[in-house]
Structure 1
Amino acid sequence: AILGQDGSVWAQSSAFPQLKPEEIEGIKKDFEEPGHLAPTGLFLGGSKYMVVQGEGGAVIRGKKGPGGVTIKKTTQALIFGIYDEPMTGGQCNLVVER
């Protein structure tokens, strides 16, 4: 999915979860203050992801079971990639972060 930094949806697949306003705010705050989501976890559509090492201010990564999420911040948008087996976190990172 691609969201504007204001949280507006620019494009998303049919399987992408419906994000809640507070989830978007938490993601935006973590880009401003890296580590903000680490104690509570990253939530997308009510599903909790454990925050794993990303790149402060640029990339947030989360794990949930065998899958996870990569969120890349660009100058105008937030790019989301959610993956599950057989895709790996490394493969998702390559696609989202390009």
Structure 2
Amino acid sequence: MTVFFLLQVSKEELAKLVQGFEKQDILTSSGVTLAGNRYIYLSGTDRVIRAKLGKVGVHCMKTTQAVVVSLYEDPIQPQQAASVVEKLGDYLITCGY
């Protein structure tokens, strides 16, 4: 069963996340904050950001016009979340998003 829910992410949190794709030092010092929860920044590139807080992980991917944000927790493994998010992101890019 797949469960989808929306996060109450503030404009400031989203702006910092988007900025973090290009300036990752912002995230290394203060982490990734989404819906008031601060996740520890693990790694990233100009297209992908990974973070974690306890058993909950975050995998984000920037496309041309969007940012896909995924929260996952045990038993989902980070590699599984990465695969799904990045395939969705690649699909959105091929569609112009």
Q: What band does the TM-score fall into relative to the shorter chain?
A: 0.7 to 0.9
The corresponding residue for 2:13 is: 23
TM-score with structure 1 setting the length: 0.80
Relative contact order (C-alpha < 8 Å, sep 6+): which is higher? 1
Match of 1:65 among 45, 51, 54: 54
The 1:14/1:97 distance shift into structure 2, 3 A limit, reads closer
Q: Which has the higher strand share?
A: 1
Following superposition, the deviation at residue 16 of structure 1 comes to 2.8
Counterpart CA distance in 1 for 2:29 and 2:18 is 16
Deviations 1:13-44 (A, max 9, x none): 76332001110111111012122111111000
**Pair member with larger Rg:** 2
Q: Is 1:39 the counterpart of 2:29 in the alignment?
A: yes
Q: Which runs of 5+ in 1 are unaligned?
A: 1-12
Coordinate RMSD, CA, aligned: 1.4
In the comparison of the two structures, how many residue pairs are matched? 85
Q: Which has the higher helix share?
A: 2
TM-score with structure 2 setting the length: 0.80
Quick one: percent identity of the two aligned structures? 34
The corresponding residue for 1:86 is: 75
Counterpart CA distance in 2 for 1:95 and 1:65 is 21
Counterpart CA distance in 1 for 2:71 and 2:82 is 10
